[in-house]
Amino acid sequence: MSNKSRTSLFVFILLAIVLVYFFYSISKIDSEITAVDNLISIAERELDLYGDFRPDTLRVSYLLEQINYLESWLFHNGKFFLSEDNSMITWHYLQNIINRFNQDFQFNFTTVSGGSNQYNYTVSGSSSMNDLYAFISHIERLGALYTIENLNFNQNFRETDTGPSNIVNYVIVIRPWIDASLGRSLHEQPFRRVQYTPLFRDPMRPAIHPPMRNPNQEQYVAHENLQLVSFTNEQAFFILDKTILTLKPMERVAYGYFSHVDEENNRVVFRINKTGLYETVYKEF
């Protein structure tokens, strides 16, 4: 076969390949156009069926998610009026708070007229500051709309068999908010979990107080019972009931800790706190 014939055959094959690809592409485009035409026809039928209003699936799904979110937020954070109230309803509500969340809290309950058939309630008693704080937090953060109209308390700091204790005497005036048409029954509303941070420190407990016995400290050795016999720069040696005891800096003793060795003055140093203030106590040979 001559070169001219070979070249003509190659050009013919190449042209055939290009034509096949061209017609395949046209066929594919025609199929896509047909599919789009079908979608347009469906859309036109829906437009004729619904007029200017057409359901938007994505929009409806988004709105449903928003509604679910808002309903969840309302349940965990919202407040509602009471549809009805009397002393028995409120007493049961407060008692349920205690039974579910704060069983150590105790109270006395009385009814006070608020005028126009509206009743307020007085809750009084004695408790720790943390228990009182927890009780008030649940009233304020649960769903039923009760407000604290008045709160009075005073401290009663004393020594007990279990250590220093600060019991507060309290009187709380509570008001329910009622709307017969918009309100809800307490029996129909589940209790939600209340998130609150307990008090880090009792604000009514005096920071400085007379020396008081604390049984929790009896697990540690009392520095008064230690007799210094020797020390190095890192530890000290004591006699306690005919036994050698070794203490290193920052080790606990009753009401405080062993601080350090004072080699320059030939003594050891303790830091002791029985009154709310740390005092430096020295022990020598």
pLDDT tens track for 12-31: 565 556 445 545 555 565 56
Mean pLDDT for 162-187 is 82
The pLDDT value given to residue 52: 54
DSSP 22-62: HHHHHHHHHHHHHHHHHHHHHHHHHHHHHTT----HHHHHH
What's the whole-model pTM score? 0.53
How far are the Cα atoms of 149, 212, 215, 252 from residue 163, in angstroms, in the given order? 34, 8, 6, 18
Mean pLDDT, to the nearest integer, of 79-93? Answer: 89
Give the whole-angstrom CA distance, residue 200 versus residue 195: 15
Instruction: Give the tens place of pLDDT for each residue, 118-152.
Output: 789 999 998 888 888 889 888 888 888 898 888 88
> Do 223 and 283 form a contact (C-beta atoms < 8 A)?
yes
The domain 215-284 is placed in CATH, from the list 2.60.40, 1.10.3210, 3.40.50, 2.30.30, at 2.30.30
Give the whole-angstrom CA distance, residue 257 versus residue 55.
74
Whether the pLDDT of residue 76 is over 80: the answer is no
Which pair of structure tokens corresponds to residue 213?
Answer: 């016995």
**Does the structural domain 87-188 have CATH classification 3.90.1150?**
no
Q: ∠ CA(93), CA(173), CA(107), 5° rounding?
A: 55
Torsion of the alpha carbons at 255, 259, 261 and 264, rounded to the nearest 10: -110
Q: How many CA atoms lie within 13 A of 221 on its CB side?
A: 19
Task: Return the higher-pLDDT residue of 284 and 212.
Answer: 284
For the chain, the structural domain boundaries read: 3-55, 87-188, 215-284
Residues whose CB is less than 8 angstroms from the CB of residue 254 and which lie 6 or more positions away in sequence, other chains included:
217, 218, 220, 221, 222, 223
Calculate the alpha carbon distances from 10 to 5, 15, 17, 18, 19 in Å: 9, 9, 11, 12, 14
Can you name the residues that pair with 124 across neighbouring β-strands? 108, 171
What SS3 class is residue 248?
coil
